[in-house]
């Protein structure tokens, strides 16, 4: 079967560049498979375009706000156009990192302890007087990250009170809610789930420093091992935690969980990405390759899931 | 277990290319190019002001009358007829040159690249204003040169500071390969070197046998039409001059040039041939005909007036809207205003917030090779129309007010 597919990429989020790279790659793959592909960016005519377009399915490669927070998903549900990835509720839930982490903790999924800091609390309630408590509770070093958003934008590793103040200011630049999170030392692993199946965990080894924006999007700045170089039991635990996170948020089609496996083999959940990157350096395509699927097969599979409908 | 290498060529790259990679700031600029965002970031000239019928006529005539040679290879030094025209452009700024001393390049940027290739071994020292043109820093660092900055103020580069740097470097047993400077309407600082200092710098170059690279993209864009003596005219044997048609005609035709002392010129021609054999003949013909048959000086005067008006819009809105703890340069020409943010603000960290508020700028650290400039910002007034500039400044002002409040709150609690 071939379909009329709209690949949605770009948008106004700070991850626009990454999204365009994902979208271009998906569009090429689907076009090569014989689908009729239209690439669309977000603009004020989008609803009209989608309503008139006669698309069988929308492939979402939007990253960041509006693309991953449930906005576009809600719109597509209203228009009754099938689309790829988790629905609007699951997307909105996973998009808010502190809400998602709270759900994990309540349901017994391991996630590093964190403190939620809002710019309102800092500006209007003198919250910065409590920063020492943040350090005391979470220990040093700790990770500061915006409460929403991906691609490691605005993420900083902090090991002093002064650093914490600077990192908060930087993270508030991206979002008014910021998470200070206990840093877990260990092996960084990403587990992609496609249609309820956990793919081989991918181990991430940046050549220098942290797996930050530069390491993520520079070819060759990071080495991947798939499957991760962990004992079989630890690999299974990673996959189980990723599946639990997928199920808990009510996801479908595809997600990617980012984890750190500590020395005892415990996989700590950091984030659940509902619109994983599809660029040449992204983790989901790497995992699919380890599973034995080419990039084209991965795209074809995801399109098939979306076309099959909610029960599919 | 399998290792997956996404860049199978990584072990082959030369050392100079290893540091080149993705950047958070560059990714943010992908949003800045959207129409919703007022971009005060890029330094793109307002080419919409050109007379397109005239450009079409010129191009048409070139192809019809000179087709075979316009579409052919050319000489490494550039078309003699164009070089003669470029000498006339330099004469408009009272700088004497001979067509034989001119080498045509792909924009001023290739001139900087060729100079880096000609003079810089890994670890060599180049002096430059702090802040300096980001494209020059990139060109020199691609040859692994080390850029040391020299202080400047409202009158441009401080000659005593140049001398101090020279003395320091030489005392350490090193040599300075050259001083790179944009003396007129500097990018990014928006200031010009005073005449007194030009004389002092020329004298210093002679006394210390210092080679100066004078980059002059904005000289003709003085709001009052004032002409300042070029360093090349003051110390021709110690100065390599870089010119470009990008700001006075079009950056799309990629025509720049070098005017250099004879021995340097000979080397540059060879390097130009190694780089790309020759400049595009087609665009050389177009440039030559534009300068030879069109009222290009009137076009420059029109650009000058247009940019003056935009600069005025930016400055008046800044004065009305920005927090009182901000200070900025007051340009007398060119494209840029250099803004110093209130204390403790970091322009790089604040960029995401600005882009969320739909305004973009370039953080000051981009114009430093040594991580300085975090509290500074380059604002350009060349591309958006005055009303958009005012809107952009208002958005930036709002971001700054919020950021000042936030930073004060964060540090207040820390005592």
Query: Are B305 and B382 a contacting pair, CB within 8 Å?
Result: no
Q: Domain range for residue B373?
A: 10-50+298-414
- Assign A217 a pLDDT band (cuts: 50, 70, 90): low
Q: Kindly list the domain boundaries of chain A, sorted by start residue.
A: 4-84, 93-110+185-306, 114-182
Cβ-based neighbours of B211, under 8 Å, separated by 6 or more: B119, B177, B178, B179, B205, B238, B239, B240
What is the rounded CA–CA span in Å between residue B149 and residue B164? Answer: 11
Query: Across residues B170-179, what is the average pLDDT?
Result: 95
Domain assignment present for residue B245? The answer is yes
* Residue B39 neighbours by CB distance under 10 Å: 23
Query: Using CA atoms, how far apart are residues B135 and B180, in angstroms rounded to an integer?
Result: 12
Is B207 found in the same domain as B149?
A: yes
Is the domain spanning A93-110+185-306 CATH 3.90.650.10? The answer is no
Q: Is the dihedral of CA B15, B18, B19, B25 positive or negative?
A: positive
Question: Which DSSP state fits B160?
Answer: H
The answer to whether the Cβ–Cβ distance between B6 and A220 falls below 8 Å is yes
pLDDT at A95 over 90: yes
pLDDT number for residue B16: 79
Number of domains in chain B: 2
Report the chain B residue with the minimal C-alpha distance to residue A14.
B28
Beta-carbon separation of B21 and A214 below 8 A: yes
In this structure, the answer to whether residues B106 and B15 fall within a common structural domain is: no
Q: Do A173 and B31 touch (CB under 8 A)?
A: no
Domain A114-182: which CATH class? alpha beta
Residue B342 has pLDDT above 60, yes or no: yes
Residues B286 and B364 in one domain: no
DSSP state of B341: P
C-alpha–C-alpha distance, residues A175 and A97, integer Å: 12
Instruction: Give the count of beta carbons closer than 10 Å to the beta carbon of residue A147.
Output: 22
> Pick from A14, A223, A290: which is nearest to B31 by CB?
A14
> When comparing pLDDT for A12 and B163, which is higher?
B163
* pLDDT bracket for residue B22 (50, 70, 90): low
**CA–CA separation, A228 vs A239, rounded Å?**
11
Q: Give the helix ranges, DSSP H, for B71-133.
A: 80-91, 107-119
Radius of gyration of chain A from its Cα atoms, rounded to whole angstroms: 19
- Of the candidates A254, A206, A263, A256, the residue with the CA atom closest to the CA atom of residue A234: A263
Structure tokens at B7: 């860049």
Task: Confirm if A256 and A191 have CB atoms less than 8 A apart.
Answer: yes
pLDDT for the residue B5: 63
- B5 CB contacts (<8 Å, ≥6 apart)? A220, A223
Lowest-pLDDT range, A121-130, A159-168, B1-10, B237-246?
B1-10
Is residue B174 in a domain?
yes
Same domain, B288 and B316: no
Q: Which of B206, B152, B123, B121 is nearest to B367 (CA)?
A: B152
Q: What is the pLDDT of residues A253-277, one digit of tens each?
A: 999 999 999 999 999 999 999 999 9
Domain assignment present for residue B180? The answer is yes
The span from the CA of A256 to the CA of A198, in Å, is 9
Q: Are B135 and B112 in contact (CB under 8 A)?
A: yes
Q: Tell me, what's the pLDDT at A13?
A: 76
State both tokens at A65: 């706000």
CA distance A217 to chain B (A): 6
What would you measure as the largest C-alpha separation in chain B, in angstroms? 75
Are the Cβ atoms of A173 and B22 closer than 8 angstroms? Answer: no
B336 neighbors B378 (Cβ within 8 angstroms): yes
Q: Is B82 found in the same domain as B115?
A: yes
Q: Read off the pLDDT of residues A164-196 as tens digits, 9 standing for 90 and up.
A: 999 999 999 999 999 999 999 999 999 999 999
The verdict on residue B5 lying in a domain is: no
Cβ–Cβ below 8 Å for B349 and A169: yes
The reply to whether residue A153 touches residue B9, judged by beta carbons under 8 angstroms, is no
* pLDDT for residue B35: 85
Q: Looking at beta carbons, which residues of chain B come within 8 Å of A64?
A: none
Residue A213 is predicted with a pLDDT of 64
With 0-12 / 13-18 / 19 or more C-beta atoms within 10 angstroms meaning exposed / middle / buried, residue B142 is middle
Q: How far is CA B38 from CA A224, B46, B141, B347, B390, in A?
A: 39, 15, 31, 17, 10
Nearest CA-CA distance, residue B408 and chain A, Å: 8
Which pLDDT does position A215 carry in this prediction?
A: 65
The secondary element (H helix, E strand) that includes residue B359 is strand B359-360
Residue B103 and residue B125 in one domain:
yes
CATH number of the CATH domain containing B223 = 3.40.640.10
B373 with B271, same domain: the answer is no
Give the pLDDT band (50/70/90) at residue B380: very high
pLDDT at res. A311: 47
Question: pLDDT grade, residue A148 (50/70/90)?
Answer: confident
Residue B56 to residues B60, B284, B288, B290, B300: CA-CA distances in angstroms? 6, 15, 14, 10, 19
DSSP assignment letter at B333: B
Residue B4 lies in a domain: no
How many CB pairs below 8 A link A and B?
123
pLDDT over 70 at B19, yes or no: no
Does any CB of chain A come closer than 8 Å to the CB of residue B209?
Answer: no
Q: How far is CA B116 from CA B18, B124, B126, B290, in A?
A: 18, 10, 10, 30
ipTM above 0.85, yes or no: no
The partner residues of A57 in beta bridges, in order of sequence, read A5
Q: What is the pLDDT of residue A312?
A: 39
pLDDT of residue A87: 96
Instruction: Report CB contact under 8 Å: A214, B24.
Output: yes
pLDDT tens per residue, range B258-314: 999 999 999 999 999 999 999 999 999 999 999 999 999 999 999 999 999 999 999
Confidence of residue B20 (pLDDT cuts 50, 70, 90): low
The verdict on B22 touching A (C-beta cutoff 8 Å) is yes
Residue B1: inside a domain: no
Are residue B285 and residue B302 in the same domain, yes or no?
no
Peptide bond into B171 cis (omega under 30): no
Q: Which CATH class is domain A4-84?
A: alpha beta
pLDDT digit string, tens, across residues B180-229: 999 999 999 999 999 999 999 999 999 999 999 999 999 999 999 999 99
Residue B241, pLDDT > 70, answer yes
Say if residue B115 is in the same domain as residue B24.
no
Statement to judge: residues B118 and B256 lie in one domain = yes
Same-domain pairing of B168 and B147: yes
In this prediction, residue B6 has a pLDDT band, given cuts at 50, 70 and 90, of low
Q: Does the residue B2 lie in any domain?
A: no
Nearest Cα neighbor of B271 from B181, B125, B85, B143 is: B143
Percent of chain A with pLDDT over 70: 95
Give the end of a domain, one of B293, B308, B330.
Answer: B293
**Coil/strand/helix, residue A7:** strand
Q: Do B65 and B206 have their domain in common?
A: yes
Distance CA A184, CA A262 (A): 7
Report how far residue B361's alpha carbon sits from residue B389's, in angstroms, rounded to the nearest whole number. 12
Cβ contact A42:A94 at 8 Å:
no
C-alpha dihedral, A261 to A249 to A206 to A12, nearest 10°: -160
CATH of the domain at B332: 3.90.1150.10
Q: How far is A308 from chain B (nearest CA, A)?
A: 33
Q: Which pLDDT score, from 0 to 100, does residue A219 have? A: 66
């Amino acid at each position: 079967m071939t379909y009329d597919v709209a690949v949605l990429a770009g948008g106004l989020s700070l991850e626009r560049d990454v999204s365009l790279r994902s979208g271009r790659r998906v569009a090429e793959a689907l076009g090569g498979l014989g689908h009729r592909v239209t690439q669309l960016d977000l603009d004020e005519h989008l609803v009209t375009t989608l309503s008139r377009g006669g698309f069988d399915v929308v492939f979402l490669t939007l990253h960041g706000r509006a693309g991953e927070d449930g906005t576009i998903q809600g719109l597509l549900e209203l228009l009754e156009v099938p689309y790829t990835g988790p629905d609007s509720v699951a997307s909105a839930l996973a998009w808010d990192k502190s809400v998602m982490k709270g759900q994990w903790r309540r349901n017994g999924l391991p996630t590093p302890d964190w403190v939620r800091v809002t710019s309102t609390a800092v500006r209007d309630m003198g919250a910065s007087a409590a920063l020492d408590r943040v350090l005391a509770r979470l220990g040093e070093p700790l990770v500061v990250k915006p409460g929403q958003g991906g691609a490691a934008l605005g993420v900083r590793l902090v090991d002093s009170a002064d650093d914490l103040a600077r990192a908060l200011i930087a993270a508030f630049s991206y979002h008014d809610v910021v998470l200070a999170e206990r840093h877990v030392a260990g092996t960084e692993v990403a587990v992609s789930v496609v249609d309820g199946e956990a793919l081989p965990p991918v181990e991430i080894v940046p050549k220098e420093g942290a797996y930050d924006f530069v390491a993520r999007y520079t070819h060759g700045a990071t080495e991947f091992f798939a499957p991760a170089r962990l004992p079989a039991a630890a690999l299974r635990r990673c996959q189980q935690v990723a599946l639990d996170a997928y199920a808990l948020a009510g996801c479908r089609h595809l997600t990617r969980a980012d984890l750190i496996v500590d020395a005892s083999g415990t996989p700590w959940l950091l984030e659940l990405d509902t619109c994983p990157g599809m660029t040449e350096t992204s983790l989901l395509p790497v995992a699919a390759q380890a599973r034995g699927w080419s990039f084209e097969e991965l795209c074809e599979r995801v399109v098939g899931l979306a076309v099959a409908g909610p029960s599919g | 277990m399998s290792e997956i290498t996404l860049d199978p060529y990584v072990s082959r790259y030369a050392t100079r290319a290893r540091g080149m990679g993705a950047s958070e700031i560059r990714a943010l600029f992908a949003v800045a190019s959207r129409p919703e965002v007022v971009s005060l970031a890029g330094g793109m000239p307002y080419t919409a002001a050109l007379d397109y019928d005239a450009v079409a006529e010129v191009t048409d005539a070139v192809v019809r009358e000179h087709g075979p040679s316009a579409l052919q290879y050319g000489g490494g030094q550039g078309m003699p007829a164009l070089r003669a025209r470029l000498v006339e452009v330099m004469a408009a700024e009272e700088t004497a040159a001979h067509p034989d001393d001119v080498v045509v390049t792909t924009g001023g940027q290739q001139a900087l690249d060729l100079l880096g290739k000609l003079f810089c071994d890994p670890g060599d020292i180049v002096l430059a204003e702090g802040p300096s043109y980001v494209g020059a820093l990139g060109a020199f660092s691609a040859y692994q040169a080390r850029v040391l900055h020299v202080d400047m103020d409202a009158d441009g580069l401080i000659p005593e500071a140049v001398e101090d740097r020279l003395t320091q470097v030489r005392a350490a047993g090193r040599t300075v390969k050259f001083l790179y400077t944009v003396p007129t309407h500097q990018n990014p600082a928006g200031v010009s070197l005073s005449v007194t200092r030009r004389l002092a710098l020329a004298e210093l170059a002679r006394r210390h046998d210092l080679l100066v690279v004078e980059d002059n993209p904005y000289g003709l864009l003085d709001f009052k039409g004032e002409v300042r003596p070029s360093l090349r005219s003051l110390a021709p044997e110690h100065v390599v001059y870089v010119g470009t048609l990008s700001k006075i005609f079009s950056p799309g035709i990629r025509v720049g040039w070098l005017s250099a002392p004879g021995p340097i010129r000979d080397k540059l021609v060879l390097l130009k041939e190694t780089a790309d054999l020759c400049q595009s003949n087609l665009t050389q013909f177009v440039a030559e005909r534009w300068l030879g048959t069109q009222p290009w000086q009137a076009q420059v005067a029109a650009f000058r007036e247009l940019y003056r008006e935009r600069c005025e819009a930016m400055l008046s809105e800044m004065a009305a809207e920005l927090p009182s703890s901000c200070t900025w340069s007051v340009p007398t020409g060119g494209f840029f205003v250099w803004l110093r943010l209130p204390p403790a603000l970091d322009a790089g960290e604040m960029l995401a917030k600005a882009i969320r508020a739909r305004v973009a700028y370039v953080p000051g650290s981009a114009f430093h090779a040594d991580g300085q400039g975090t509290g500074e910002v380059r604002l350009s007034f060349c591309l958006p129309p005055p009303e958009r500039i005012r809107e952009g400044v208002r958005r930036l002002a709002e971001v700054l007010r919020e950021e000042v409040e936030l930073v004060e709150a964060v540090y207040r609690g820390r005592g």
